[in-house]
Structure 1
Amino acid sequence: MTATAPTSAAPARVPAEPSDAEVIVASRDVPERFSEIFDRYFVEIHRYVASRLGDASADDVAAETFLTAFTLRHKYDAGRPQARAWLYGIATNLIRRHRRSETRAYRVTGRATAETDHADRVAEMVSAQRMQPRLAAVLAGLGAGDRDVLLLVAYGDLSYEEVAQALGIRAGTVGSRLNRARRKLRKALEGDVE
């Protein structure tokens, strides 16, 4: 008896996941659908907020980002298939409300000095450790627009176009702000490179 190989049938089609825009539009009639947007982006938005404000504020601001997005879902531009930049824009605006705390924290870190015990002196020898206070001071000294662009690119890993969408500015402005911020950082940190 010989075995014959089964004929290959066409592979089953897996339905494509609906775009963010489709989910948001559907959530206007079925609010529970918005949880799909939350599930897709919460971890990423939380990580970005935590990098800007610290863990203590991240839970609240990230949650507020999605609450705001849910409230504004009727205004979402359904012509944009991805909501990523929109959510980063909301998060950045909420972070601006916390800007005084953020700037104050950068300034405090920038003024921080090492303790005089041996362990701290050894840690101070590590260049990343030495650079951190100066970096924080430079970030605190950047204009809000430059800092937002720099941190959306660095922490959010957004493209120029996504940053432009998030902040409601032109991509060329993103490039200008990013270059200016990078120049200031480079100039301020040049003394740390040995």
Structure 2
Amino acid sequence: MADPRAVAAFLVALLPLIATPGASLALLLRQVAEHGRRRAAPVVLGTVTGLAVHAALAAAGLARLTAHHPGALAAVRWAGGAYLIGLAVLTWRSADRPPGARRPHRTGPVPVQALLANVLNPKAASVYLTLVPQFLDPGRPLPGQVLTLAAAHAALLTAWLLAWTALLGRAAPRPGPHRRTTRATAAVLLALGLHALR
């Protein structure tokens, strides 16, 4: 288990990264705007599962792998960018559909979308490749420390997404705001994808 002071410092370092709008918030915005607050839970579940994947890879030594093979990180960056661009295109195309209208899940169920958006997100990967190692104590077992930091990360991110859900859920879905919100979400996803491909 990580030292409580290390966990607190890790959360302070994480806060600016979490506060920066990303793929998880964009997906949450879209789901809550279209379907209401009940759709926040699948987004949070998929996002937290994605964090668990990153934590497991970090504990297994992915940081060491990418240090010796820079192409591994580039592959993650390109795969994540391509996925986010594809999701942006599908999101933009859905803007003219009425809120709540049934549509085929071309990108998979919401938890899967959130999971992939997180797992393939270079920003999320970089947290576990570059930030987490700075808060690890070499004298303690690595897996327990990574698990503790990941749990703290998941709790902070969940609180952040639920706070946004409370704000977004107050507005009833209407065609005009729905269209603007969906297209704004698509623009954010596209920008994130293009940034990942740079």
Q: When the two structures are superposed, what TM-score results if normalisation uses the length of structure 1?
A: 0.29
Identify which of structures 1 and 2 has the higher relative contact order when contacts are C-alpha pairs closer than 8 Å and 6+ apart. 2
More helix by share: 2
Larger radius of gyration: 1
With normalisation by structure 2, the TM-score equals: 0.28
